[in-house]
Structure 1
Amino acid sequence: MLVTLTDLGHRFDGQPYLFEHVTAELEPGHVYALTGPSGSGKSTLLGILAGWITPATGTLASTGVNRVGWIFQNPHGVARRSARDHVALPFLARGARRTDANREADVLLERFGLAHAADRPFRALSGGEGQRLMLARGIASAPDLLLVDEPTAQLDPRTAHTVNDALAKIATAGTIIVVATHDARARDACTDVIDLGAPAEPRTTDRVDA
């Protein structure tokens, strides 16, 4: 599985380029932080990766990517459904028995620091808990490519810290993960960085130092 960006650039009609010369190879098991100031095209590049937008220049090639997941800035869930139900649903949709789906859901809830909230309804979760639940559900859905748009943008610093801790645990074999963020701590929680705010020259993927 591989997503290859070659000299990618985009602008909307009559407007200057949001970004140019983006070159990277995205592989499973990595979490790529897509960084840059507001207006640099982070969400637009996510849209290109999802296949919703055709880039103005350059090419995007995907091999083995059939299912794309997207986690938005604001967590959305069913108010009265429990956290466990939200994560179990993707397993049930793939044919798992309820007991097996719940067991798999509990493993993911533990991974993202939500074991204590497994039985709480979605409406009773805090903002940070809700966003971490969306990350857990995103992994449960087993997409080939998971796109995460500004997961800490609507959170206070303390709550954002819990989400950044979860991002550090999100790397998953078999899934390519791209996180658009302006948060330096979210960037540092990822394994690699694509910086759209860098000078306009060929950009490659940089590994974040541990």
Structure 2
Amino acid sequence: MGTSNKNKNSKQENGERRWLITIVITTFVISGTVSLISESTLSKVNILVALAILFGIILLGVVFDIVGTAVTAGDETPFHSMASKRVPEAKIVVKLIRNASKVSNFCNDVIGDVAGIISGSVGVVIVSKILQAKPNLNQILIAATISAVIAAMTVGGKAMGKKVAISKSNDILFSVSKIIYFFQLIGKGKNPFKNKKIDIKNKKQLIQK
């Protein structure tokens, strides 16, 4: 029995180590890719487009934070009956909830933190563009204003998002599962639009049970 527990602990440690390595590599790749795209794009656009990119990055962070919170607050029980009726999205939700720590780690920490870091970098570029267009403006004041806007939107968005994520966790997870399933079908070379769709009323009833 002692050997069995030892092997179990060893497998768990190896799994955690692999997950840590995966997260580090994923964070590096995502951060580098998004930074490269945003930096190369921002140098060619005007201030309004740059602001739109900034808001898009902040929104991305907020959306993933909502998903990360929803997966920790979700209840897999209502999806068991759906899974038994061979609803593929329900199976995905159950899998997400059972791996809540990893999913929330990826959504909240990886994507959320990367979005926060990159939004700060984009803010610096926007300040630079504003000062190039209006060199007489106070640099410190402009930088402080942009930073305050980024912080307010990020914190405010996540605060509101968390409330929604907790109260509507199962609905959010089901929507996420549909997106995941859509791309799974595309990855398998299938047409996702030919698959049967669940009646919305029945879906809501099943989730609320």
With the shorter chain as reference, the TM-score category is: under 0.3
TM superposition score normalised by structure 2? 0.20
Higher strand share: 1
TM superposition score normalised by structure 1? 0.20
| Higher Rg | 2
Higher helix share: 2
